[in-house]
């Protein structure tokens, strides 16, 4: 349950903070609240029980250090998890400690370390309007298996914040972070499929509609009745997360104080949905990995590499490949060309830029920048024989706003003498 590392980390931090673990009670009074110290055996033959030991070594002689309780096996703080949890909980009991600021600080210390083992201290009840805490297991039931798939840093950050905020009892903030995580996943998937940024306007359900259509999850796109039910269920989850965030999140003045189970529902639902969407994204590409190799093979022909973009797209063999591609597959093919295709010869230069002519209308400004950076230091793509200058000139003619000063300076020096149709 609670690792030795966690326990020692907590005690070490309490030592550093110079915390008096018994609070405003003496050590006998404090320990009597947790143990029957008069029944626990003595380690000193002069006394009858542990109470006598404490008096002798902490009051009379004071030859035990302040944190003797850690190593005293009669208390079992290091070996018994329940005892350890009861001990640290007792240190912030109103009878033991009545300084609200100190209690809050210690609570953050405890929960900050306990989170690593899936535990936290939460308020159970109150006495004289002061909180009494108990240890509960933090049930993070659903692991987000596709965490590494999230390329959108914002989404990943929000997922981490969900747990961090729960540990700090910031339930409102955790709900808002769960919503932000889902939104970040939508932005990530949208950009992967389209190569463009998702529109900022619209609420969360509106953004989900865009993703649902791109991943072929709409009712109209799925003939399977069971699958339609799943898709309908996810639409309801999106609405539920959005509504919870509006009513109990910290984006607005919350109408009610959220309960832990509501927060866990929100976070776990968000993780389940994200896993499903990334799984769907991967499934859409299954069986289509050979499309790239097929396209390369078609372009590896002298009578095709010199064709314009329109001529290439009209070619029966290329058209047959493109017919098998949705927007996501197109995006993958573009990325594979730009990120993975090696240009080590003039023939490969021709193939690469033929591919760029095919996808020219699908290239965003960021893609043009990546293409330039890929080719600007490669002798096979540079003048006088490489295709970069022709490609950049076509960008100048069709999408001049995409060019930076660096690109324009390149073209001033390397202006093609003849036009090559893209």
CA distances from 182 to 143, 247, 390 (A): 15, 17, 42
What is the predicted pLDDT for the residue at 39? 94
Higher local confidence (pLDDT), 127 or 220:
127
What is the predicted pLDDT for the residue at 141? 42
The pLDDT-based confidence of 349 (bands split at 50, 70, 90) is very high
Does residue 70 carry a pLDDT above 60? yes
The pLDDT-based confidence of 263 (bands split at 50, 70, 90) is confident
Give the best-scoring range by mean pLDDT among 26-35, 277-286, 306-315.
26-35
The pLDDT-based confidence of 32 (bands split at 50, 70, 90) is very high
* Alpha-carbon dihedral 181, 182, 187, 190, rounded to 10 degrees: 150
Cα-Cα-Cα-Cα dihedral sign, residues 232, 233, 238, 242: positive
| Averaged pLDDT, 255-259 | 71
pLDDT (tens digit per residue) in 98-145: 999 999 999 989 988 898 888 889 888 889 999 999 998 865 444 454
What is the predicted pLDDT for the residue at 14? 96
What is the predicted pLDDT for the residue at 142? 41
CA distances from 231 to 150, 169, 284, 410 (A): 21, 33, 16, 50
pTM: 0.50
Give the best-scoring range by mean pLDDT among 146-155, 186-195, 221-230, 383-392.
383-392
What is the predicted pLDDT for the residue at 111? 87
| Averaged pLDDT, 256-272 | 81
| Averaged pLDDT, 238-267 | 75
The pLDDT-based confidence of 251 (bands split at 50, 70, 90) is low
Q: Which distant-in-sequence residues (6+ apart) come within 8 Å of 259 by Cβ?
A: 171
Higher local confidence (pLDDT), 261 or 46:
46
Least trusted range by pLDDT, from 45-54, 55-64, 247-256: 247-256
Domain coordinates in residue numbering, the chain: 4-137, 147-285, 290-413
The pLDDT-based confidence of 160 (bands split at 50, 70, 90) is confident
What is the predicted pLDDT for the residue at 56? 92
For residue 414, the Cα-to-chain-centroid distance in whole angstroms is 44
Least trusted range by pLDDT, from 83-87, 146-150, 383-387: 146-150
Answer yes or no: are the C-beta atoms of 406 and 375 closer than 8 Å: no
| Averaged pLDDT, 338-346 | 91
Does residue 42 carry a pLDDT above 50? yes
Question: Looking at 237-316, which runs of residues are DSSP E strands?
Answer: none
CATH topology of domain 147-285: 1.20.120
CA dist., res. 30 & res. 155, Å (int): 46
């Amino acid at each position: 349950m609670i690792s030795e590392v966690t326990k020692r980390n907590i005690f070490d931090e309490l030592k550093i903070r110079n915390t008096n673990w018994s609070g405003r009670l003496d050590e006998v009074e404090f320990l009597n609240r947790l143990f029957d110290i008069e029944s626990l055996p003595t380690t000193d033959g002069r006394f009858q029980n542990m109470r006598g030991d404490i008096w002798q070594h902490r009051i009379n002689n004071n030859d035990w250090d302040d944190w003797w309780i850690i190593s005293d096996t009669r208390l079992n703080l290091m070996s018994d998890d329940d005892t350890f949890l009861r001990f640290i909980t007792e240190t912030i009991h109103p009878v033991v400690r009545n300084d609200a600021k100190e209690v809050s600080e210690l609570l953050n210390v405890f929960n900050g370390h306990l989170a690593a083992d899936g535990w936290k201290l939460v308020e159970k009840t109150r006495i004289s309007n002061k909180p009494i805490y108990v240890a509960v297991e933090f049930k993070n039931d659903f692991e987000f298996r596709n965490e590494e798939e999230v390329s959108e840093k914002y989404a990943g950050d929000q997922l981490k914040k969900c747990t961090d905020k729960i540990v700090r009892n910031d339930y409102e903030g955790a709900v808002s972070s769960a919503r932000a995580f889902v939104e970040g996943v939508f932005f990530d998937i949208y950009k992967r499929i389209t190569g463009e940024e998702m529109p900022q306007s619209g609420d969360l359900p509106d953004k989900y509609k865009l993703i649902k259509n791109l991943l072929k999850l709409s009712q109209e796109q799925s003939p399977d009745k069971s699958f339609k039910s799943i898709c309908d269920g996810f639409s309801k989850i999106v609405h539920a997360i959005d509504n919870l965030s509006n009513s109990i999140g910290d984006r607005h003045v919350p109408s009610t104080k959220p309960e832990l189970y509501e927060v866990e529902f929100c976070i776990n639902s968000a993780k389940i949905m994200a896993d499903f969407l990334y799984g769907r994204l991967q499934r859409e590409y299954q069986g289509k990995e050979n499309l790239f190799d097929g396209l390369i093979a078609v372009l590896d022909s002298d009578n095709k590499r010199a064709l314009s973009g329109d001529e290439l797209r009209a070619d029966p063999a290329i058209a047959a490949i493109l017919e098998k591609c949705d927007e996501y597959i197109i995006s993958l093919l573009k990325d594979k060309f730009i990120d993975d295709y090696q240009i080590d010869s003039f023939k490969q230069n021709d193939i690469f830029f033929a591919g760029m002519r095919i996808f020219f209308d699908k290239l965003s400004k960021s893609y043009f920048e990546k293409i330039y950076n890929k080719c600007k230091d490669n002798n096979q793509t540079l003048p006088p024989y490489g295709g970069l200058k022709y490609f950049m000139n076509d960008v100048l003619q069709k999408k001049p706003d995409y060019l930076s000063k660096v690109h324009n300076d390149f073209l001033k020096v390397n202006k093609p003498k003849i036009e090559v149709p893209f």
